[in-house]
Structure 1
């Protein structure tokens, strides 16, 4: 009975760790291929977590799961299985079977299907700044985002919280929260409905609400990253003690993420350009870009640059921030 149970458990576990890499020095590593990019193969193992292997040090490899194989000068081809071959070679098995030199492979990425059960990812970054000179200044900021995909639906939630005190007196107190719901109709096209609200206790405009909807296009979304472009028609409402103002805008938004250096480094950029349908404001730009360095599976060091810009009545007002902090990712 113990032998039967052990065999059953091994059968269940085997598909999770079905990839094998043979090195030039004779060593063999088993795990799950995450991706190959930039000359580094990321392999997720049971015993050492995710390890990076120089592609030039690999003798051959095998994988039982589908992979998108990109060759030098060619588009990606889907391989249902990779089988070990001679030194410096691999056998690609799919619609057609052929031997391929490892030196010709520039990228391996597991395909991400549109109809998946569930995908959950996110980041939370924190920044703390304390100054002690003529004035005692304490500032802290939290920025986070998360997305959940199931089937043809995608939920995106992002938020920001900032507090600053100067000589024990609060001088900054604001927060922002945005929720977007996407419905995919094809692998690339989707429709978005979004709601955003922000409040600031020390600005003339105390509260801002934005409700928008429009089409989006997903250029790609895989283990290497993603690139989305969304166009929306929005209804904006600004509230203050003096007066309230409501108007329409047209906006375009991009969401970009790319893993570099064998997944150790992540570059990301988010930007939204709004064109208000009023004469007083020409455009409003809200953008950020940054780098995250992965210390391990969950810890990150982050460097972020923010640019918020408004132009109206012949004048441009810009607000720039440089943030260095730590965070977590999943």
Structure 2
């Protein structure tokens, strides 16, 4: 028996396969103020940037002020107004300095987010963190053990944030301890506006190589997120801390200090190569020589599945180091990290 193949059969089968293999996108459209119209899915709007996922160009970023209208023919969008409440809507229309959310009119400045995360509305909390490791074992002509471990945890819910950070540096060669330094610190802050916050911190540090057995600090601070977007982050904090220092070979000291923290990161290649710098320190208000600080600078690149690698330079300074001890300490590290 001979089969007669229709000339339309192959194109129809191809079209059928393409339709069923194509990724599904919610039927949402966005219209810009210049009249351009895009179809896809609104992932979220935050920090005046709309993340819009398309089937032909991936996820694109659009300035919120350039959006004239968003409509959804499928699932509603969740709009967060000033405060913590969200409302489901299927149309968002800008009209001058007001925005129409379905039939509800709101000042444009009251619309802070679209499709916010649960931690931003108080439905849940978010826990994120990172751990970095650097080890060296040498069993040749010398017996050398060196380990550097650093971890950072961050808990966020609504306007509240708790951070916990710790670091251990241990260096021993031929049975002689060269370095034994560790620090643990925690902070709590409350964001009372988009970029400003206040809080309190506490920390404890040991650095026996500079005669410091323990340093305890605690006090309030004020913070400012100068830049905070997907590519660049820059924040500074400053406050007063009560500081108590216990030494191994001299009398202990207590004083009020001016303390600061600074964090900067920038993706040189978005999602591929990150430049970062962190700095924290304090200076005694009673003695300008009582200055100490730590800095971390490096380049970090992701590997896969949350793993990353980085090249880092750490510099520490202790102005209260005893005579005969070098106040400066510099460490170069190649680190393997995991971030979640």
TM-score, scaled relative to structure 2: 0.64
Q: CA separation in 2, counterparts of 1:111 and 1:223?
A: 17
Aligned to 2:43: 65
Superimposed CA distance per residue, residues 101-129 of structure 1 (whole angstroms, 9 cap, x where no aligned partner): xxxxxxxx999775464333221111112
Query: CA 1:139–1:83 in 2, change beyond 3 Å: closer, same or farther?
Result: closer
Aligned to 2:183: 176
Q: CA separation in 2, counterparts of 1:246 and 1:296?
A: 47
Matched-pair contact (CA < 8 Å) for 1:208–1:239: yes
Q: How far apart are residue 252 of structure 1 and its match?
A: 2.4
Aligned to 1:326: 336
Aligned to 1:283: 291
Query: CA 1:31–1:120 in 2, change beyond 3 Å: closer, same or farther?
Result: farther
Q: Does 1:188 align with 2:160?
A: no
Count of residue correspondences: 257
Aligned to 1:304: 312
Aligned to 1:320, the other structure's residue is in SS state strand
2:146 to 139, 142, 147: 139
Matched-pair contact (CA < 8 Å) for 1:135–1:167: yes
Matched-pair contact (CA < 8 Å) for 2:181–2:205: yes
Aligned to 2:327, the other structure's residue is in SS state strand
Q: How far apart are residue 195 of structure 1 and its match?
A: 0.4
2:226 to 210, 219, 228: 219
Q: CA separation in 2, counterparts of 1:248 and 1:263?
A: 41
Q: How far apart are residue 184 of structure 1 and its match?
A: 1.1
Q: CA RMSD in A?
A: 3.7
Q: CA separation in 2, counterparts of 1:275 and 1:322?
A: 25
Equivalent runs, 1:1-330 vs 2, <5 Å: 62-67=40-45, 78-79=49-50, 96-97=68-69, 115=121, 117-241=124-248, 242-279=250-287, 281=289, 283-311=291-319, 317-330=327-340
Q: How far apart are residue 253 of structure 1 and its match?
A: 1.6
Query: CA 1:164–1:95 in 2, change beyond 3 Å: closer, same or farther?
Result: closer
Largest Rg, 1 or 2? 2
Q: How far apart are residue 310 of structure 1 and its match?
A: 3.9
Q: How far apart are residue 286 of structure 1 and its match?
A: 1.5
Q: How far apart are residue 264 of structure 1 and its match?
A: 2.0
Q: How far apart are residue 207 of structure 1 and its match?
A: 0.7
Q: How far apart are residue 205 of structure 1 and its match?
A: 1.5
Q: How far apart are residue 132 of structure 1 and its match?
A: 4.3
TM-score, scaled relative to structure 1: 0.66
Matched-pair contact (CA < 8 Å) for 1:110–1:223: no
Q: CA separation in 2, counterparts of 1:124 and 1:304?
A: 14
Aligned to 1:147, the other structure's residue is in SS state strand
Matched-pair contact (CA < 8 Å) for 2:216–2:244: yes
Q: CA separation in 1, counterparts of 2:281 and 2:61?
A: 47
Q: CA separation in 2, counterparts of 1:31 and 1:169?
A: 63
Q: CA separation in 2, counterparts of 1:140 and 1:228?
A: 29
Query: CA 1:64–1:274 in 2, change beyond 3 Å: closer, same or farther?
Result: same
Matched-pair contact (CA < 8 Å) for 2:210–2:318: no
Aligned to 1:73: none
Matched-pair contact (CA < 8 Å) for 1:85–1:91: no
Q: How far apart are residue 221 of structure 1 and its match?
A: 3.4
Query: CA 1:292–1:92 in 2, change beyond 3 Å: closer, same or farther?
Result: closer
Structure 2, unmatched stretches of 5+, are 1-20, 27-37, 71-112
Aligned to 2:81: none
Structure 1, unmatched stretches of 5+, are 1-26, 33-59, 69-75, 99-108
- The one of the two structures with greater contact order (alpha-carbon pairs below 8 A, sep at least 6) is 1
